[in-house]
Amino acid sequence: MTASGSEVRVYVRTRPTAAFAQDLIEYLPDKETVNIHQRRVSRKGIVNNQLSSWSFHLDGVLHDVSQEEVYECVARSVVLGALEGYNGTVMCFGQTGAGKTYTMTGATESYRQRGIIPRALQEVFREIELRADYSFSVRLSYLEIYNETLVDLLSSVKGVQGPQGGNMAVIEEAGRGIWVKGLSLHPIHNEEEALNLLFEGEMNRIIGAHALNKHSSRSHCIFTIHIESRSCTQSDAKYVTSKLNLVDLAGSERLSKTGSEGQGQKEAMYINKSLSFLEQAILALADRRREHVPFRQSKLTHALKDSLGGNCNTVLVANIYGEAAQIEETLSTLRFASRMKCVRTVPSINEHDDPVLQVRRLQKEIRLLKQELSIQNTLANRRGVSYEPLSETQVAEVKSQVRRYLEGSANQIMIVNVRQVQEVFAQFKQAMQEQEQRIREKLLQDYSLVEKTAKTEGPPPEERHEPKGTAGKLEGRGFGLGMAPPSERYVQSVLPNRSKAKRAKEMSSQMIPVNSSCRFFVSRKGDAGSPGPNRQAEAPGPGPRPAGQEDPNLESQDQETQLAGTRADSPPPKEEAFEDFKVERGSEINRILKENKAVLLERRALLRTLTDTVNEVKREIDKTASDLRTTREQRLSQGEFVGVEGEPVLDEEELSLVLRLRELKGRYRQEYEELVNTKAEVRYCQHLVDQCRIRLLTEFEIWYNESFLLPEEVQTILNSNNGPLRPGLVPVDKALALEEDEEDRTACLRQTPRPDSPNAVSFYNAHNRTLKRRGSRPQSQGSGQRRRSSSRMGTGAGRVKFPAIFSVT
């Protein structure tokens, strides 16, 4: 393959038949030209003897040739190209039953008649052995597109994790090209491993039977070999990657000929539709004037975008069924093939920089740039400028500068270089964190071990009465007078004629959200509206509690709860278990929660007092200011007072009002500042309480599940090997290990076929393993969908496409 632009190579292959239509299909001696002659049909539908002829010039005609010749002619160069870093695609196209799967995978009774994929895998590993100067890594994937749905044919392989089925999608990414999200990639180390995977995927393909093919593929399949190679000898070499796509398209079919019905008919419609989108994409690609190619119309064209119009060596095999009855389909296959021949691709090696090498290169560049900088500094007479990371002494110096700046003893910090700027910011951050820690410790010191026993004073914030003209953030001159927003006002007010029940309801609606999936209420011990002994207790768990119901309070161990009846073998009610949990395993976190709540209540009470005080002072300020205005107006209306030297003076009353106003404003500032600080403390305490609640509930849920819900045998498995595991975190390999034991127990011995060539050992080993695996799989239910694994066990189901490969004699 060359690196310059090239046309897609196209071959035609005929399925052998006793009734080959030699008068209609003519292969010229150049072995590249096919002429098709078709009898004309009159307007009345009567076939007459006049012939219409078409000539197709392709890259080769494969008529009566062996599987080996097909591989040599069609695929070998593409496979070798892939080992050098070129992407490659070999694709079989044609009507149903024309021999696509036979060409691609092989469906013969002997190793000699295997198809392109097994041969390509053999070639890859043979070449890898020969190229000792390179280290290769090979991975496989096998994608099926069935009724416009992406399916991972290797998802049944042990150890495959991650999204499959519905979560799969074709993704286009700059630098990575086209790839399929959710498709498993399997590292392989030799031909046998690769064949195991191929056969596993083959078993999982969907097949169906119709008049033209008993084992018709009902889906498009893309088997991909991903290769990466690195030179072992050249340390500065780049590495190359490539993808080799081996595509077995589903066959186009005419329902009138295949007689497909029901599911088969639906599948045929999907197949024909996606093939028609493929034709549209090829038409657009072949027409150089077209700017847009509709790749995204179907999953197939999207997945093959790189292969059809990208940097790929692409080969098409047009499979035809050489009987006269199929001449129209043959003609349309050849038309598609000749259009495909006009498509150009630009094969290029996928070369990448080795990240280790890149680091080395960048290190070298940094060295050069530093030298350059030092020359520039010398020229500009800048001395002692360092670009190295800061030493410990330098860091200590920056730290001390930042401290002095924060304390106010330094007005500025001299900036020298970028590293120092970064260190300055780091020191600011550290100072802030230390300050935060100090506050936290002080709070814990001052308020630890205070038990909450008193009733919560006052109603919830949303219920509090808000008088007008209260204090809050101030306007103007940095600190003026203004209104406190509702959230900042706490004025105690219990409405006298509100009914008990209503108050209880409003109290219980003080909901504290923990997270989106877990909410609970805080209710206070002894509240007027507490439900009586008949109230229904609810377990702490997801979902809001209906208004009027009280929560099993986290700290109220003396609360009465009516527990639901229990069965002897059922887990205890959560409420009961929760109480036990709080005094046993959760006692420490419950104690901390209680202490935090006590501090929170204390701070809230202080906040209310401060708010009252601030509002009181504000009212006094308003009144004094108004008095002062009135006094001033009166004085001015009587004429101005002047002193001995004629300067304006205040009378005694006005002076005392001015002084009073000043004193009040000073007080206001002081109180307001304290209010703001206390509010911050309340927020912080609330945060701690919330965290404790979440922790307590989470721990409880885990403990409850572990203690009562999981069966003992599951707990034993979870706790084996690597220590205890949390529910929901069962490693897949453990689950699979169980499955494997089961398989091993039920696997039956099968006859091992005798290799007919030393090279065939891997092939037959893989084949036997596949048979064994298939033998241990349960038959699928119903007659509708037909994965090969369920239908091809020599049970006489007769819908098996691949059996010949396995029934070797």
Ligand X SMILES: Nc1ncnc2c1ncn2[C@@H]1O[C@H](COP(=O)(O)OP(=O)(O)OP(=O)(O)O)[C@@H](O)[C@H]1O
Span of 150-158, 210-218, 493-501, 699-707 interacting with ligand X by CB under 6 A:
210-218
Q: Does 96 bind ligand X (CB under 6 A)?
A: yes
In the complex, least distance from residue 86 CB atom to ligand X, rounded to whole angstroms: 27
In the complex, least distance from residue 23 CB atom to ligand X, rounded to whole angstroms: 21
CB 653 within 8 A of CB 475: no
Candidates 99, 264, 322, 540; binder of ligand X (CB under 6 A) is 99
Neighbours of 355 (CB within 10 A): 9
Span of 184-192, 212-220, 451-459, 572-580 interacting with ligand X by CB under 6 A:
212-220
**CA–CA separation, 184 vs 141, rounded Å?**
6
- Please name the residue that has the structure tokens 């070998």: 76
In the complex, least distance from residue 518 CB atom to ligand X, rounded to whole angstroms: 53
Give bridge partners of residue 239 from the DSSP assignment: 230, 352
Q: Does 246 bind ligand X (CB under 6 A)?
A: no
Cα distances (Å, whole numbers) of residue 173 to 176, 180, 240, 805: 5, 11, 18, 38
In the complex, least distance from residue 804 CB atom to ligand X, rounded to whole angstroms: 7
Candidates 8, 10, 25, 107; binder of ligand X (CB under 6 A) is 107
Question: Where does residue 331 fall: left (phi above 0), alpha (psi -120 to 50 degrees), or beta otherwise?
Answer: alpha
In the complex, least distance from residue 209 CB atom to ligand X, rounded to whole angstroms: 9
Candidates 8, 9, 11, 15; binder of ligand X (CB under 6 A) is 15
CA dihedral 167, 170, 176, 182 (to 10 degrees): 20
Q: Does 624 bind ligand X (CB under 6 A)?
A: no
Span of 43-51, 155-163, 214-222, 491-499 interacting with ligand X by CB under 6 A:
214-222
Q: Any idea what the Cα angle at residue 372 is, between residues 367 and 377, rounded to 5°?
A: 125
Span of 98-106, 511-519, 540-548, 592-600 interacting with ligand X by CB under 6 A:
98-106
Distance of CA 4 to the CA centre of its chain: 38
CB 488 within 8 A of CB 682: no
Closest by alpha carbon to 224, among 296, 304, 112, 160?
Answer: 304
Q: Which is nearer to ligand X, 116 or 484 (CB)?
A: 116
Question: Where does residue 477 fall: left (phi above 0), alpha (psi -120 to 50 degrees), or beta otherwise?
Answer: left
User: Tell me, what amino acid is at 100?
Assistant: K
Span of 34-42, 213-221, 452-460, 743-751 interacting with ligand X by CB under 6 A:
213-221
Q: Which is nearer to ligand X, 101 or 613 (CB)?
A: 101
Burial 12-33 (b: 16+ CB within 10 A, else e): bbbbeeeebbeebbebeeeeee
Q: 551 — phi, psi (to 5°)?
A: -85, 150
CB 315 within 8 A of CB 58: no
**CA–CA separation, 60 vs 32, rounded Å?**
4
The reply, when asked if residue 94 is annotated as ligand binding, is: yes
**CA–CA separation, 53 vs 267, rounded Å?**
33
Candidates 251, 347, 459, 540; binder of ligand X (CB under 6 A) is 251
Q: Which is nearer to ligand X, 13 or 524 (CB)?
A: 13
In the complex, least distance from residue 57 CB atom to ligand X, rounded to whole angstroms: 22
Candidates 196, 213, 313, 470; binder of ligand X (CB under 6 A) is 213
Cα distances (Å, whole numbers) of residue 426 to 183, 433, 436: 44, 11, 15
Burial 70-84 (b: 16+ CB within 10 A, else e): bbebbbebbbbbbbb
In the complex, least distance from residue 8 CB atom to ligand X, rounded to whole angstroms: 20
The CB-nearest residue to ligand X is 251
**CA–CA separation, 25 vs 115, rounded Å?**
25
**CA–CA separation, 736 vs 259, rounded Å?**
42
Cα distances (Å, whole numbers) of residue 501 to 463, 552, 697: 15, 19, 29
Q: Which is nearer to ligand X, 255 or 661 (CB)?
A: 255
Tokens for 721, please give them.
């090997």
Span of 96-104, 192-200, 764-772, 781-789 interacting with ligand X by CB under 6 A:
96-104
In the complex, least distance from residue 775 CB atom to ligand X, rounded to whole angstroms: 23
Span of 90-98, 491-499, 559-567, 741-749 interacting with ligand X by CB under 6 A:
90-98
DSSP annotation of 167: G
Q: Which is nearer to ligand X, 143 or 610 (CB)?
A: 143
The reply, when asked if residue 99 is annotated as ligand binding, is: yes
Q: Does 613 bind ligand X (CB under 6 A)?
A: no
In the complex, least distance from residue 208 CB atom to ligand X, rounded to whole angstroms: 8
Q: Does 216 bind ligand X (CB under 6 A)?
A: yes
In the complex, least distance from residue 166 CB atom to ligand X, rounded to whole angstroms: 25
The reply, when asked if residue 638 is annotated as ligand binding, is: no
User: Tell me, what amino acid is at 376?
Assistant: Q
Considering only residues 374-413, where is the footprint of ligand X by CB under 6 A? Answer: none
Q: Does 74 bind ligand X (CB under 6 A)?
A: no
Q: Which is nearer to ligand X, 618 or 801 (CB)?
A: 801
Q: Give the containing element (helix H, strand E) for 125.
A: helix 116-130
In the complex, least distance from residue 116 CB atom to ligand X, rounded to whole angstroms: 12
Q: Does 97 bind ligand X (CB under 6 A)?
A: yes
Q: Does 16 bind ligand X (CB under 6 A)?
A: yes
In the complex, least distance from residue 217 CB atom to ligand X, rounded to whole angstroms: 3
In the complex, least distance from residue 345 CB atom to ligand X, rounded to whole angstroms: 24
Closest by alpha carbon to 74, among 314, 331, 251, 341?
Answer: 314
Candidates 71, 102, 520, 764; binder of ligand X (CB under 6 A) is 102
Give bridge partners of residue 511 from the DSSP assignment: 521
CB 802 within 8 A of CB 792: yes
- Considering CB under 6 A, how many residues would be counted as binding ligand X? 19
Tokens for 416, please give them.
């020298």
Neighbours of 513 (CB within 10 A): 10
CB 150 within 8 A of CB 143: yes
In the complex, least distance from residue 252 CB atom to ligand X, rounded to whole angstroms: 8
The reply, when asked if residue 97 is annotated as ligand binding, is: yes
Candidates 56, 58, 100, 459; binder of ligand X (CB under 6 A) is 100
Q: Does 215 bind ligand X (CB under 6 A)?
A: yes
Which residues 6+ apart lie within 8 Å of 167 measured at CB?
Answer: 181, 182
Q: Which is nearer to ligand X, 245 or 556 (CB)?
A: 245
The reply, when asked if residue 100 is annotated as ligand binding, is: yes
The reply, when asked if residue 310 is annotated as ligand binding, is: no
Q: Which is nearer to ligand X, 603 or 788 (CB)?
A: 788
Q: Which is nearer to ligand X, 217 or 420 (CB)?
A: 217
Span of 211-219, 234-242, 576-584, 654-662 interacting with ligand X by CB under 6 A:
211-219
Span of 95-103, 225-233, 239-247, 679-687 interacting with ligand X by CB under 6 A:
95-103
**CA–CA separation, 208 vs 270, rounded Å?**
14
Closest by alpha carbon to 666, among 624, 630, 606, 607?
Answer: 624
In the complex, least distance from residue 346 CB atom to ligand X, rounded to whole angstroms: 30
Considering only residues 302-341, where is the footprint of ligand X by CB under 6 A? Answer: 319
Q: Which is nearer to ligand X, 389 or 784 (CB)?
A: 784
Binding mask 109-148 for ligand X (x = CB under 6 A): ----------------------------------------
CB 118 within 8 A of CB 806: no
**CA–CA separation, 453 vs 2, rounded Å?**
86
**CA–CA separation, 333 vs 220, rounded Å?**
17
Tokens for 431, please give them.
């100072």
Candidates 38, 101, 141, 420; binder of ligand X (CB under 6 A) is 101
| Binding residue positions for ATP | 94-101
| Binding residue positions | 94-101
Contacting positions for ligand X (CB under 6 A): 15-16, 94, 96-102, 107, 213, 215-217, 250-251, 319, 801
